Amino acid sequence: MFSRRTLLGGAAAGAATVGLAACGGSSSSADAEAEITTLKIMAPLLSDTAPDPEGQLHKAVEELIGMPLEITWVPNASYSDRVTVTMASDNIPHVMVQTGKTAELAQTAEAGGYWDLTDILSEYPNLTPENADVAHGASINGRTYGIFRLRDAMRAAVILRKDWLDNLGLAEPETTDDLEEIARAFTEDDPAGDGSSTTGLIIPAWNGYGNNGPYDLWETWHGTANVWKDEGGSLSPAFLAPEFIEANRSMRAMVEAGQVNADFATMDSGTWNEPFFTGQGGIIADVSSRGLQLMGLFKDEDPEGYGDKVTMVGNLKNPDGTLWALPTPGYSGYLTIPKAAVPSDAQLATVLTALDVLSSEEGQRLLNNGIEGVNYEVDGEQAVAIESEEASLIQSDVSAFAQIGSQSNGYLGLPAKPEGEAEEALDQKRLDFHEADLDSAVFNPGAAYMSQTYLQSGAILDQIVVDARLKYLAGQLDEAGLEAELERWTSSGGQQVVDEMNELYQQG
């Protein structure tokens, strides 16, 4: 999943460590004239073991790009600090993976620390963005300072206990009204048929605003814009619109009726699957991959009868039948090219050519699937894992090498073949509704822009909204109190954020 805290300023703010922009080792004329003969990359490592530079996958990538490859793998937990230190050093790689759109990245880029690729990427077919909305949102105040790393633009799903629906003779929901009725029935009508106490919607403690959480989904389905709303060419915060209040009014009614888990304000998100699996609740609004995880839990318990336990649907229509689908940002970080390491146009062309090859179909399959015939076989348009010690080593390396791929031209790797018929059917179902939902996606019009006030005070401002919403849902604030807290956001610096965002928006 994406980070819980997605900021209203259009992009996530990172450490406020600035002044290092464009300050890493200065490049001499000799540096600018030198050819790049070894491509150097720094990337985060999400596992315990870094790939062996003598390993099969590393060597296969070198062969594909036609030059030696030197990758510095940095543990993910310390990666952002390492980026800061590296950019201030004399040992800067040609390509740096950036895990998010941070304040430091923006300030370094706008100060000239990274190449501005806005007018360059179109020369490289495999680096030309497939989705213009995602590309714009990934930009920094309208400029492209890196190649964004593609992620699914649509992931939202409502996951339900299929056996409970069947027991009660209920159809899958199409609207928010349908879901409210299912939540009521799951709470009141003994869906398990054993007299046990159950509830409908399961929500964990969820911090942050505008980060594709359950509340964001519910609000979007009711017509609330995605973080920012374009009103006649001007941006306004989505939570100041009437639809925000209306959506939370209906959610509060569900809470008061016991149709949401009582510990929604404190439940550990790491245990989100448990009440669904153990029969304490029957609805989760999250990413669709969770539905496949849950099916796997049921399969472990009952390998023969697991197929009728889980179903999923996509984004829900509002009570009037209108569909507003909540997309993800569609990317997760960037591949940036520091000017201190790549000072000349010729060197830039060398780096971009290598990255273009890595984003070709052959390159994407290598980075995301591995080596055909060694760790996977192709079955139709899917990858089937090979079981062997050699294959396991390569598959471990694949999980790391995927971090240096961009796929901004569209994903060309092979999806993994699901294990059984039930998994395959559920997987295809989610792919189908994700594709359909994209036609109704509500993208954030302010995603590209970064308010300086927000970068400095965004965490405090966000918390006002998060706390107000939670207190309202818990009955600690009435509607007037909720509105008063949202007004406090405006008077506590929020209006300055709005003004700065609109200035950037008009320039963009």
Do 216 and 231 lie in one domain? The reply is yes
Note whether 125 and 239 are same-domain residues. no
Copy the structure tokens of residue 226. Answer: 């995605």
Task: Tell me the pLDDT band of 11, cut-offs 50, 70 and 90.
Answer: very low
Q: At what angle do helices 79-87 and 103-110 cross, to 10 degrees?
A: 20
Please state, in angstroms and rounded to a whole number, the distance separating the CA atoms of residues 405 and 459.
Answer: 31
My answer on whether 280 and 342 are in the same domain is: no
Mean pLDDT calculated for residue range 343-366? 98
Closest by CA position to 98, among listed 119, 82, 112: 82
Give the percent of the chain with pLDDT over 90.
89
485 and 348 in a common domain? no
pLDDT for the residue numbered 30: 52
Residue 477 has pLDDT above 70, yes or no: yes
What percent of the chain has a predicted confidence (pLDDT) above 70? 94
Between 25 and 364, name the one with better pLDDT: 364
Same domain, 50 and 180: no
183 and 252 co-located in one domain: yes
Average pLDDT, whole number, for the chain? 93
pLDDT for 7: 36
Cβ neighbours of residue 169 closer than 8 Å, sequence gap 6 or more: none
Is residue 308 domain-shared with residue 255, that is, in the same domain? Answer: yes
Q: Assess whether pLDDT exceeds 90 at residue 373.
A: yes
* Distance between CA atoms of residues 232 and 502, nearest Å: 12
| CATH code (residue 175) | 3.40.190.10
Cα gap 313→310, rounded to integer Å: 11
Over residues 465-472, the mean pLDDT reads: 97
Residue 23 covered by a domain: no
Stated pTM of the model:
0.86
Residue 432 lies in a domain: no
**More confident site: 297 or 1:** 297
Closest CA to 365 of 398, 336, 392, 387: 398
Whether residues 298 and 337 fall in one domain = no
- Comparing 20 with 237, the larger pLDDT belongs to 237
90-137: pLDDT as tens digits: 999 999 999 999 889 999 999 999 999 999 999 999 999 999 989 999
- The whole domain housing 69 covers 29-151+332-410
Q: pLDDT at residue 8 above 50?
A: no
pLDDT given for residue 440 in this prediction: 98
The 3-class secondary structure across 66-95, one letter per residue, is CCCEEEEEEEHHHHHHHHHHHHCCCCCCCE
Question: Is residue 474 one of the residues assigned to a domain?
Answer: yes
CB 210 within 8 A of CB 6: yes
Q: Are residues 40 and 78 in the same domain?
A: yes
Helix (H, G, I), strand (E, B) or coil at 286: strand
Q: Are residues 35 and 48 in the same domain?
A: yes
Q: Amino acid identity, residue 343?
A: P
- pLDDT on residue 5: 31
How many Cβ atoms sit within 10 Å of the Cβ of residue 67? 15
Q: Could you tell me if 365 and 395 lie in one domain?
A: yes
457 domain residue, yes or no: yes
User: What is the pLDDT at residue 220?
Assistant: 98
pLDDT digits (tens, 9 = 90+) for 163-187: 999 999 999 999 999 999 999 999 9
User: Structurally, how many domains does the chain consist of?
Assistant: 2
Query: Using an 8 Å Cβ cutoff, are 404 and 39 in contact?
Result: no
Confidence of residue 10 (pLDDT cuts 50, 70, 90): very low
User: Is 287 in the same domain as 214?
Assistant: yes
pLDDT tens across 404-444, in order?
Answer: 999 999 999 999 999 899 999 999 999 999 999 999 999 99
Residue 360: pLDDT above 80? Answer: yes
* Average pLDDT of the residues in 185-209: 95
